[in-house]
Structure 1
Amino acid sequence: MTPGKSADTARPARRRLSVDRRREELMAAALELFSTRDAEDVSIDDVASAAGASRALVYHYFGGKQELYVAALKSAAEQLESRLRRPQEGGTPIEELASGLRRYFDFVEEHAAGFAALLRGGPANRTGEVGEIVDGVRQRLFRLVQKQMGVPEPSPVLRMTLRSWIATVETAGLDWLEHRDIERAALERMLVDHMVALLGVAAAYDDNVTGLLERLV
C-alpha cells in the first residue's frame, strides 16, 4: 500500500448516481433478464447482480420483484409510445403506415430487451396491471393505424382485421429479434403488404372496407 493512504482511500470510489438514474439502471437490468426468462424465474438477487448493485438497494427503490417488473414494463411501454406519438409526415395512408412501422422497429432494434420483455409470454400471462400496460400499447398502436387510415369508427370486420395485423407485427418483431435473418426494411415492406392483403380479404365481408382499400392502393 502506498504510504499515507488508508485501505479506504485505496478502494475505488463507488459511483454516485441520482435517484432517477439509479432506478433506470435497475430497470434496464431487469428488462434484460425479463426479456429472456419468465418473470417468476428472475429473482431480486439476479437483478441486483446484473446491475452491479446490492439486494438491499433494489428493495430500497422497489418494494419487491412485482413492483420492479411493473415499473420496468411501464418504462418500456412509455418509450415505445413516445415513438408512436410523433406527428404524421403528411403522406398517403400507406406511406404513413410505413413511417409508423419504421418508428416501431426503431424501438424494437434500439430497445430489444424492453420490447421482448413487454410482449414475451403471450396474452395468457398478461393479467392485472401488467396486462393493462401491454393492452395500453396495443390500443395506442390501434388508434394510430386507425387515424392513418382516416377511419373514425371501424366496423367489426375492420376492427378485427386491424387487431389481427397488430398481432402479426408484434410476432414479427419478436421473431426478427430472435433470428435477424431477414433485412429489416424488407420485413417492414412485407408487413405493409400484409395489411393490404388482409384488407383485401376483409373487403369480401364488408363493402366499407372496399372503399378504404381503394383509397389506400
Structure 2
Amino acid sequence: MADEATRRSGMSRAEQKAATRARLVAAAGELFAERDYGDVTIADLAAHAGVAHGLLFHHFSNKEGLYRAVLDAVVTEMDSAFTAPADGDAPAIIRAALTTHLSYLATHRGVALKLIVGRRHADPTAAEVSDRSRGRALSALAALVDVDADNPVIQFVGATLVAAFDEATHFWLHTSDPFPVDALVTSLLELAVGALQGARSLDGCPDVDDAIATLRVAAHGSRSDA
C-alpha cells in the first residue's frame, strides 16, 4: 500500500519522508509560535500537520525533538544572514546581515521571542539552540571586523552586545510603534561601536581602531561620514 501511495504521488520514498518532515516542522512552528511548549500536545501537532501520531514519533522520537527541529530551522535561517563571501565588502555585509536578521525576526515573531526569552527562563532547549546561534554570529562578525574572537576582551564585548541586542530586540518586537528596521540597524551598530570603545580601558584589549571604523561605515555608509 505504501508503494502504491508512493507511485500515485510521483515522489520517491525519500522525497515523501522529507516532505512529511518539513510539513511537521512548519506546522509545529506555527503552534509553538502561538503557545508555550507545555500547552502544545502531540495530538495538536499531528492534527495541525494532518498526519498520524505515529509519523511524528517516527521522524522526531518525541515532542522535544520536534521543538528542537523548529528552533534549529529558525536558527539556520537566521544564521544564513551572517554567511558572507570571503572577498565581500565587510561594512555592506554587516549591515545587510543585521537587516535580514531583524526582518526575519519581525516576520517570525513568536519563535523569535522564544529564542530570546528562552535564554533567561526555564527553556533549556531554546537556550542551547539560541546560544549556539549567537556563538556562530559573533564569530562571523569578529571575522568581518578582523578581531580575534578568542581574545577575552573581545569575548566580553560579544557578551555585552548579545545582552544589549536581546533586550533591544525584545523591546522592539513588543512595542506598538516599532522603529523602522533601517534605523534600528544603525542604532545597534552604534551600540557595537560604543562597546568596542569602552573595551579600550580593559587590560589585554587588542587594537580595535579598524573594527570601529568598519562598524561606523556599516552604520553610516562612508568612511568620510564616520
Q: TM class, shorter-chain normalised? A: 0.7 to 0.9
Distance in 1 of aligned mates of 2:174 and 2:147: 34
Equivalent position of 1:185 in the other structure: 182
Offset at 1:143?
0.5
* Contact 1:33/1:47, CA 8 A, preserved across alignment: yes
Equivalent position of 2:154 in the other structure: 158
In structure 1, list runs of 5 or more residues that go unmatched: 1-15
Aligned mate of 1:31, from 26, 29, 48 = 29
Offset at 1:194?
0.9
1:87 aligns with 2:100: no
1:15-26 aligned at under 5 Å gives the runs: 18-26=16-24
Distance in 2 of aligned mates of 1:53 and 1:194: 47
* Contact 1:83/1:104, CA 8 A, preserved across alignment: yes
State the Cα deviation string for residues 161-212 of structure 1 (Å, max 9, x = none). Answer: 1222123323433433333621111111110111111122222325535534
RMSD: 3.0
Instruction: Give the letter aligned to residue 56 of structure 2.
Output: V
Distance in 2 of aligned mates of 1:178 and 1:50: 27
* Contact 1:29/1:50, CA 8 A, preserved across alignment: yes
1:1-217 aligned at under 5 Å gives the runs: 18-87=16-85, 90-91=88-89, 93-127=90-124, 131-179=127-175, 181-206=178-203, 208-209=206-207, 211-212=209-210, 215-216=213-214, 217=216
* Secondary structure class of the residue paired with 2:81: helix
Q: How many residues align?
A: 201
Distance in 1 of aligned mates of 2:60 and 2:34: 21
Bigger Rg, which one? 1
Distance in 1 of aligned mates of 2:167 and 2:198: 21
Distance 1:175 1:44, change over 3 A: farther
* Contact 1:119/1:170, CA 8 A, preserved across alignment: yes
Distance in 2 of aligned mates of 1:174 and 1:49: 31
Taking only the aligned residue pairs, the percentage that are identical comes to: 25
Distance 1:56 1:153, change over 3 A: closer
TM-score by length of 1: 0.75
Question: Where has structure 1 moved over 6 Å in runs of 4 or more?
Answer: none
Instruction: Give the letter aligned to residue 136 of structure 1.
Output: R
Instruction: Give the letter aligned to residue 18 of structure 2.
Output: D
* Secondary structure class of the residue paired with 1:46: helix
34-43 vs 201-210, which moves further? 201-210
State the Cα deviation string for residues 118-143 of structure 1 (Å, max 9, x = none). Answer: 3342244353x654432221111010
Distance in 2 of aligned mates of 1:113 and 1:185: 21
In structure 2, list runs of 5 or more residues that go unmatched: 1-10, 217-226
